[in-house]
Chains A and B, each alone.
Chain A
Amino acid sequence: MAKRSTVIAITVAAAVVIVGAVGAGVAVLGSRDTGGAAGAKGDTTVTVRVWDEQVASAYEQSFQAFEDKNPDIDVKLTVVPWADYWTKLRTDVAGKSAADIFWVNNSYFADYADNGDLLDIDKTLGSDAKSAWAPSVVKQFTRNGSLWGVPQLSDAGIAVYYNKALLKDAGIDPASLENLTWSPDASADTFVPVLQKLTKDAAGHTADDADFDPASVTQYGYNAGNDLQAIYINYIGSNGGTYQDGDRFTFANPKTVEAFQYLVDLMNTYHVAPSAADTNQNGDFSRDQFIQGKMALFQSGLYNLKNVADGADFDWGVASIPAGPEGRVSVTNGIVAAGNAATEHPEATKKVLEWMGSAEGNEFVGASGAAVPAVTDAQPVYRSYWENQGVDTSKFFDVLKNGTIPAPQGANFGAAFGAYGPILEDVFAGRVPVAEGLQKAQDAANAALDG
């Protein structure tokens, strides 16, 4: 039975080699978890979790500078992609294994604040600390009298990117875009006629021509559609409507209904925007059309500035959003770094939060033009980056002076959004009358809030 021992020996040897190789590989890959070469024994590791790769690159430089000043603290940064971020955060907070510091946005922070999962920034860093931060962001993240995170990014407001060549072809002076007014009352509206001139079908007829064929549009005027941040919440605001009252949803507010009716008409009656079939599920559709030179006006925020600047190979500019009956009202949104109330290193976490809230620590975010810093003294870095690129970002900031509508907020927002989202898709697609659909959306969203 010599053969038997060989076979067994080979099997055992193979098993040992495989397990050994895998074990060694895992050990090598795992070595960086313990702090790696950078940290000596006894150092405190503070973990930070964010969802954006571009900002993460900036943070890495920022934390490097922090570690140079605080050699006894290691900061470990993890990026969890947006698609998973909120589900992961929920399970990790529940399992007490969340990072010491993590990003939260306006829509989701209330749950965690109400449950006592977040450090009260007023108590941790002192209530004077907030004077250094963008007031709009501080206001957004103040709930029940306390601030629940250190402001990191600010979206500023919404504006309109325009394609200079397409405007010129239609005989529209870019400066005139500043005077446009939209209104549910057709006689007061100056926006639709401009959009009609900017929309063309395959035969070259513009949308105000009797021969215009809405089935073969080759150039869109505008990106009206199912886009909360860039489109509909601003229309609600500039018509004097409301999106929420406290945490409750108020889609059936008559002013809100008018705003939606106007947008749905732009899409389904005037055909100056892509159809809901294209845009309901694909948030990038309109941006891609604009970058491909097939859309004249693209309303969006600074979050798309880098995409437009990198992507568009034509001359473009930025104009203000059209004024509504209540003037120009834009949403503004911020992101904060929240401290985990269950952190095992409260002192070190406090130091990192302080650093992230300082102009010096926050400036890295604006230096590459990726995002607007929320520390007021760090903001000029962002503006000058874009000025050097020949882009004037002032329209995004100026719009906030006319008043803002609060961004979505509240406990259980995620569930409410999941409930009303599909109903709004039906509204934009014209499958449900606007008023009826919005009533349904409101009921569904509020029912979801109640769990």
Chain B
Amino acid sequence: MKWTRTLLVYLVLLTGAALTLAPFVLSVMTAFKTPEQFARRSSLSWPDPVTLENFGVLLTGRTEFGRAIVITVLAALLLVAGQLLFSIMAAYAFARMRFPGRDALFWVYLSTLMIPAIVLVIPLYLMMAQLGLRNTFWGLVLPFAFASPYATFLLREYFRGIPQDLVDAARLDGANALDVLVEVVVPLSRPIIATVTLITVVSQWNSFLWPRVITTGNDWRPITVATASLQSQYNGNWTLVMAATTLAVVPLLALFLVFQKQIVRSIAITGFK
């Protein structure tokens, strides 16, 4: 009866794979269809003729999707740099330095994770408006350019796992806190740093609510908002939307293919096995 079990397992796995992949296949198919075909024929029909029209409209038309991609990449770069720098320093302080109220402070900081992001939108918006940063690049990135509680938490847990002996040895050699962080802790923590980087890139790439609130028009909107803006009052423009999602997913796919090993390992690290 072993083969029936194998068959069953594969059947379940294949169904799961099909359910997961079907939306992507459908969106890529739609991206290569003419709007006429999309309106006239079944949405499951194969693109005929295959057209690059949608991508052309996106990149050269009034949508300025190319600009949105550049903005998204710049924002991701800045956020990754900022979050890594500040989260690593904060995590080190929380993990290895001794000062009164350290743990209490950490738990208070961590508890901000429990506050739904949507609650913060209005205060953040008012702050940015006061600073005159509405509809600017800095308004888009500043609220998230510093440490995030989640990244700090992940890093702290990992840093705590590094043997104290190593730190003590470095101390004996005359290293100060910064030396220990840069030369002992960070080199030993590459896997978790890769994880934090990936989490930051992906969450930034997909963030929608804040950019939608803080930006107006084409000037500073990232790809998520640009994609949503493709739909007009009387027209869904689905072929354009799907071309946009196809373009948006390509960089992430490339990232995944390059860093496959690290990603799988990072999932193991964060415990979502």
Contact A292 B137 (CB under 8 A): no
**Interface flag for A277 (CB, 8 Å):** no
Choice from B67, B77, B235 contacting A21 with Cβ under 8 Å: B77
Q: Are A29 and B71 in contact (CB-based, < 8 A)?
A: yes
Given contacts A7-B183, A291-B39, contact A18 B232 (CB under 8 A): no
> Which B residues touch A54, using CB under 8 A?
232
Check A56–B62 contact: CB distance below 8 A: yes
Q: Measured between C-beta atoms, what is the minimum distance from A370 to chain B in Å? A: 11
Contact of B51 with A by CB under 8 A: no
- Check A30 against B137 for contact (C-beta < 8 Å): yes
Q: Is A84 an interface residue (CB 8 A)?
A: yes
A76-93 vs B: 1/0 string, CB under 8 Å? 001111111000100110
Whether a CB of chain B sits under 8 angstroms from the CB of A185 is no
Bound-state CA distance A57–B62 (Å) is 8
A26–B73 alpha-carbon span in the complex (Å)? 11
B134→A97 contact, CB < 8 A: yes
CB pair B62 A80 closer than 8 Å: no
Query: Which residues of A, 41-70, contact B by the 8 Å Cβ criterion?
Result: 49, 51-54, 56-57
Q: Are A29 and B67 in contact (CB under 8 A)?
A: yes
A82 to B234, CA, bound (A): 9
Q: Once bound together, how far apart are the Cα atoms of A262 and B50, in whole Å? A: 45
A-contact bits for B65-77, CB 8 A (1 contact / 0 none) = 0010011001001
A1 at the interface (CB under 8 A from B): yes
Most chain A C-beta atoms within 10 Å of own C-beta, residue among B39, B40, B71, B77: B39
CA distance A80 to B129 in the complex (A): 19
Quick check: B216 and A307 within 8 Å, CB to CB?
no
- Does residue B48 face the partner (Cβ distance < 8 Å to A)? no
Does B127 sit within 8 A of A, measured CB to CB?
Answer: no
A288 at the interface (CB under 8 A from B): yes
The residues in B between 84 and 99 inclusive whose CB is less than 8 angstroms from any CB of A are 85
Bound-state Cα–Cα, A91 to B122, Å: 11
Distance, CA A284 to CA B71, complexed state (A): 32
Given that A4-B182, A4-B183, A22-B78 are contacting pairs, would A88 and B216 also be in contact in the complex, using a CB cutoff of 8 Å?
yes
The answer to whether the Cβ of B157 comes within 8 Å of any Cβ in the partner chain is no
Docked complex Cα distance between A80 and B215 (Å): 10
B182 near A8 (CB under 8 angstroms)? yes
Which residues from chain B contact A56 at a C-beta distance below 8 Å? Answer: 62
Instruction: Say whether chain A's binding surface is mostly helix, strand, loop, or mixed.
Output: helix
How close is A378's CB to chain B, nearest CB, in angstroms?
A: 21
Docked complex Cα distance between A22 and B231 (Å): 30
Query: Quick check: A95 and B40 within 8 Å, CB to CB?
Result: no
CA distance A50 to B134 in the complex (A): 19
B165 CB–A CB distance under 8 Å: no
Q: Looking across the interface, which residue of chain B has its beta carbon closest to that of A76?
A: B217
Give the shortest distance, in Å, between A239 (CB) and chain B (any CB). Answer: 26
> A29-B137, A95-B134, A311-B39 known; A19 and B182 CB under 8 Å?
no
Q: Are A29 and B232 in contact (CB under 8 A)?
A: no
B197 within 8 A of A: no
A7, A49, A88, A292: the one within 8 Å of B39 (CB): A292
CA distance A8 to B71 in the complex (A): 29
Q: Please, which residues of chain A bring their CB within 8 A of the CB of B182?
A: 4, 7-8, 11
Q: B35 and A18: CB pair below 8 A?
A: no
Is B271 positioned at the interface, with any CB of A under 8 Å from its CB? Answer: no
- Once the chains bind, are A288 and B77 in contact (CB under 8 Å)? no
Q: Closest Cβ of chain B: how far from A298's Cβ, in Å?
A: 13
B74 touches A26 (CB 8 A): yes
- Residue on A with the closest CB to B217? A78
Q: CA–CA, A4 to B174, complex, Å?
A: 12
**Which residue of the partner chain, among A19, A30, A57, contacts B78 with CB atoms under 8 Å?**
A19
B228 neighbours in A (Cβ, 8 Å) = 81, 83
A95:B129 contact, CB within 8 angstroms: yes
Indicate whether A401 reaches chain B with its CB closer than 8 angstroms: no
Is B9 an interface residue, CB under 8 A from the partner? Answer: no
Q: Provide the residues of chain A in CB contact with B235, threshold 8 Å.
A: 284, 307
Q: Is B229 an interface residue (CB 8 A)?
A: yes
Name the A residues within 8 Å of B41 (CB-CB): 292
Is there an interface contact between A84 and B212, defined as CB atoms closer than 8 Å? yes
Known: A11-B182, A56-B62. A80 touches B233 (CB 8 A): no
Q: Looking at the complex, which one of A84, A283, A311 makes contact with B40 (CB distance below 8 Å)?
A: A311
Assess the A22–B35 pair: CB atoms within 8 A: no
- CA distance in complex: A26, B220 (Å): 9
Q: Which of B132-150 contact A (CB under 8 A)?
A: 134, 136-138
Q: Could you say which residues of chain A place their CB within 8 Å of the CB of B125?
A: 91
Q: Which residues of chain A are near B219, meaning CB under 8 Å?
A: 29, 33, 78
Residues of B within 8 A of A84 (CB): 212, 229
Interface readout for A283-295 with B: 1 if CB under 8 Å, 0 if not? 1100010011100
Closest approach, in angstroms, between the C-beta of B161 and any C-beta of chain A?
A: 22
B16 at the interface (CB under 8 A from A): no
Task: Select from chain B the residue with minimum beta-carbon distance to A313.
Answer: B40
Across-interface contacts of B103 in A (CB, < 8 A): none
Closest to A304 in B: B234
Which residues in window 160-214 of A have CB below 8 A to B? none
**Could you jot down 6 A-B contacts, CB within 8 Å?**
A15-B81, A79-B62, A79-B229, A84-B229, A97-B134, A311-B36
Q: Point out residues on B near A: beta carbons under 8 Å.
A: 35-36, 39-41, 62-63, 67, 70-71, 74, 77-78, 81, 85, 125, 129, 134, 136-138, 179, 182-183, 212, 216-220, 228-236
The 8 closest A-B pairs by CB, nearest first: A78-B217, A82-B233, A81-B229, A311-B39, A18-B81, A26-B137, A291-B39, A22-B78
| Contacts A3-B183, A78-B218, A81-B232 known; 5 new A-B pairs at CB < 8 A | A26-B137, A29-B71, A29-B137, A56-B62, A303-B233
